[in-house]
Structure 1
Amino acid sequence: MRASHADRERAVDVLKAGFAEGRLQQPEYEQRMGRAYQAQTHAELQMLVADLPQGPVPQAQFAPRPGVPATFMPMPMPMQMPMPVHTNSSATGALICGILMPMTWGATSIPAVILGHKARAEIRRTGERGDGQAIAGIVLGWLGIGGWALFLLVFVLLAATGG
């Protein structure tokens, strides 16, 4: 099996410990270090550290063996949170308010914008799904608000001109 950079570093750590404990002389230590960095397979690394207290640890093994200092063991993988499978309810509410906006004469425009922004903040924090729904609710809500603003502007202009 081909050796990874981490495998080489573990073998180098074993060699360093062997040198620090007086198990290797300086010339032999330097020679083995050079070979460790050039090693291509686990077998080559094992040959370099076979006569030392322990050799490189396979990547799949995470529990320390008796007599193996934790220094030479691979770091445990951090636990990853599973991706949530549900959609943010505020995002769904924003989309529904945006869709209902024409039927309510724009009364649901402001709730669509508020729920959409609230949903996007929650989605960023929790990683839930529904960002597209939240954006759609925001866009539809602002279109409704813009429509009402245009209507009021035209009404005021007509009233001011006496028309």
Structure 2
Amino acid sequence: MSTPDPYPQQPQQPPAQQPPPPYAPYAAQYPPYGYPYMPRPTNGMAIAAMVCGIAGACSPIGILGLIFGTIAKRQIQERGEAGEGMATAGIVLGWIGVAATVLLIGYYIFLFAILGTAVNELGNIDPSDWPTDDPTWMISLLGGVLSASF
């Protein structure tokens, strides 16, 4: 007697067909609207103008920010580069640096003029009057300095 095969051979069936997707995929990709974005290069003079303007906002280096910013504005218009805001910042900070430098030089000239006059007035005082307990000597010194300066 033969034993029955525990794994009987089943007839091969073709693979089941997959149902079609509910929508068809796009046939072709369309390009995006408009032109592709191409970033413009930033003008190097504009970067230099802004750096010199920041570093020289209260010093003579601000003059370089003013010069570089003016050159950068012209180059940006000719070449179509980016960085106009940085060039403007360099120009503005450059003018602030120039104004601060002029005011500082004027302050030092005024200070040395007043100190020179004060030293001259102290030289006109009779040394035999020193030291004195009279506090009015300062008022007379100040009056002499102001009358000689203005």
TM-score by length of 2: 0.48
Task: Indicate the structure with greater helix content.
Answer: 1
Point out the structure with max Rg over C-alpha: 2
